[in-house]
């Protein structure tokens, strides 16, 4: 049941959001992530009661909480952000013109706060679990197994990443991953003995063109070389080069095609050696995975839109298991990973009420 206090206090939500934003949490910074996890756990305990547990990992602590009883629903999020320590000094938490700005307000600290305050509207939290991970922004390698375990145990997942444009929920996501190509050549003097070397930079140029040609944008596949480096001095034939490639796919068939193509890359320059590592680490999230939950969201909030997007999240993992998953339930705003990141204050209470309605309906199986 939803309690009589069906209007969450926006000022309290902003206070909690300030606490999280001002506890900086860059991925891979273990001390900062430990402090951030404790801040998240403290807010959960204050608002929901019980005791949140820190789950240690090589990437930093994850936060788990349970309302008890048979698990029926997983609330999923992350507390790591992409911003380095010190960003807060340059770009502090600020409330102005009905917007909140600051590192991580949209991706995804605002979503965590809305989820917690939405759950606080319920007088019974049995069957609800919360998992807030420490490494989503860097691939979820240390949290994926736990995410999948709890998703299967609960049977339904709500993901509190930021909303799509206009506040739309995210009903599908591309699979995504990164490939690293290393080209090994042979150094020589660029003036005295250029032919004695094997130019890794020239080979890298060939590979960039071959790799970019793997894209099939007409079916949603993008293969984009993004970072390259080569050489040591301007008078030395480069002996090594590296290329990083971002890959996005909408289907498992395209995942398999692209991964096979990377495995088959062959050198153009005689004597060059190519090695490839990486892959499409997040499988696609098909829109079918969100169909039932999206229909439920529309019944609770008529007019809310759903949209498939290109970015990945931990919802990709849960949807790939066949667990019903709805994403984009977090902050309404924009500018993820950018200096202009923002959250719209006037949407916070409405999103929190949507959380309460979804949780109530899922637990009573009104959505199945």
- Residue ranges per structural domain of the chain: 10-173+285-363, 175-282
Averaged pLDDT of the chain = 96
pLDDT of residue 17: 98
Q: CA-CA distance, 290 to 305, in Å (whole number)?
A: 12
Q: What is the mean pLDDT of residues 64-71?
A: 96
User: Hey, do 10-173+285-363 and 175-282 end up sharing a CATH topology, with the first three levels equal?
Assistant: no
| Contact between residue 138 and residue 80 where contact means Cβ atoms under 8 Å apart | yes
Rounded Cα distance between 49 and 26, Å, is 27
- Annotation: CATH topology of 175-282: Alpha-Beta Plaits (3.30.70)
Average pLDDT over residues 199-210: 98
Q: Which two tokens stand for residue 132?
A: 């807030």
Backbone phi, then psi, for 279, in 5-degree steps? Answer: 170, -175
The pLDDT, as a whole number, for residue 4 is 39
Element (H, E) at 41: helix 30-48
Number of alpha helices (DSSP H) and beta strands (DSSP E) in the chain: 10, 16
Query: What whole-number distance in Å separates Cα of residue 70 and Cα of residue 329?
Result: 23
Give the C-alpha distances (Å, rounded to integers) separating 278 from 130, 139, 156, 209, 254: 30, 11, 29, 19, 16
Dihedral (C-alpha) 7, 102, 158, 25: value to the nearest 10 degrees? -130
Pick the residue with more confidence: 6 or 75?
75
pLDDT band at 365 (very low <50, low <70, confident <90, very high): confident
pLDDT of residue 7: 75
Integer CA distances (angstroms), 136 to 41, 143, 327, 342, in order: 18, 8, 14, 20
pLDDT digits (tens, 9 = 90+) for 255-281: 999 999 999 999 999 999 999 999 999
Orientation of helix 348-363 relative to helix 291-300, angle to 10° = 120
pLDDT tens across 2-34, in order? 543 567 899 999 999 999 999 999 999 999 999
**Mean of the pLDDT values across residues 298-310?**
96
Report the CATH fold assignment for 10-173+285-363.
Aminopeptidase (3.40.630)
Separation between Cα atoms, residue 127 and residue 160, nearest integer Å? 18
Catalogue the active-site residues: 80, 136
Instruction: State how far the Cα of 80 lies from the Cα of 169, in Å rounded to an integer.
Output: 22
Q: State how far the alpha carbon of 154 is from the alpha carbons of 140, 158, 294, in Å.
A: 19, 11, 18
Reply yes or no on whether the pLDDT at 366 is more than 80: no
> Per the structure block, which two tokens stand in for 99?
């917007």
pLDDT greater than 60 at residue 1: no
Establish how many alpha carbons lie within 13 A of residue 139's alpha carbon, considering only the half-sphere containing its beta carbon: 13
**What is the reported pTM?**
0.91
Q: How far apart are CA 333 and CA 107, in angstroms?
A: 10
Largest CA distance in the chain: 84
Tokens of 116: 């917690």
Token pair 């999103």 in the structure block, residue? 351
């Amino acid at each position: 049941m939803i309690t009589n206090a069906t209007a969450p206090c926006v000022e309290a939500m902003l206070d909690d959001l300030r606490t999280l934003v001002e506890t900086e949490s860059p991925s891979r910074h273990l001390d900062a992530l430990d402090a951030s996890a404790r801040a998240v756990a403290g807010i959960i305990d204050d608002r929901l009661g019980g005791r949140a547990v820190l789950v240690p990992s090589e990437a930093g602590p994850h936060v788990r909480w349970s309302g008890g009883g048979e698990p029926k629903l997983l609330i999923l999020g992350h507390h790591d952000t992409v911003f380095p320590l010190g960003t807060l000094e340059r770009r502090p938490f600020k409330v102005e013109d009905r917007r909140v700005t600051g590192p991580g307000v949209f991706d995804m600290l605002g979503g965590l706060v809305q989820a917690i305050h939405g759950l606080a509207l319920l007088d019974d939290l049995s069957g609800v679990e919360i998992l807030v991970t420490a490494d989503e922004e860097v691939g979820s390698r240390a949290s994926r197994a736990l995410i999948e375990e709890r998703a299967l145990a609960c049977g339904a997942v709500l993901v509190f990443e930021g909303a799509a444009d206009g506040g739309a929920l995210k009903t599908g996501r591309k699979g995504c991953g990164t490939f690293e190509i290393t080209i090994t050549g042979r150094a020589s003097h660029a003036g005295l003995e250029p032919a004695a070397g094997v130019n890794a930079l020239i080979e890298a140029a060939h590979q960039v063109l071959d790799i970019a040609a793997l894209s099939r944008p007409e079916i949603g596949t993008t293969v984009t070389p993004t970072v390259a480096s080569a050489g040591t001095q301007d008078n030395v034939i480069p002996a090594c080069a590296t290329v990083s490639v971002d890959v996005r796919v909408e289907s498992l068939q395209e995942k398999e095609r692209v991964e096979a193509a990377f495995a088959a890359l062959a050198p153009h320059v005689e004597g060059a050696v190519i090695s490839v590592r990486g892959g499409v680490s997040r499988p696609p999230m098909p829109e079918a995975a969100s169909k039932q939950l999206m229909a439920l969201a529309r019944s609770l909030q008529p007019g809310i839109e759903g949209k498939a997007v290109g970015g990945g999240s931990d919802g990709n993992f849960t949807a790939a298991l066949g667990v019903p998953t709805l994403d984009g339930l977090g902050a309404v705003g924009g500018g993820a990973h950018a200096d202009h990141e923002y959250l719209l204050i006037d949407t916070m209470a409405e999103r929190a009420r949507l959380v309460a309605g979804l949780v109530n309906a899922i637990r009573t199986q009104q959505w199945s």
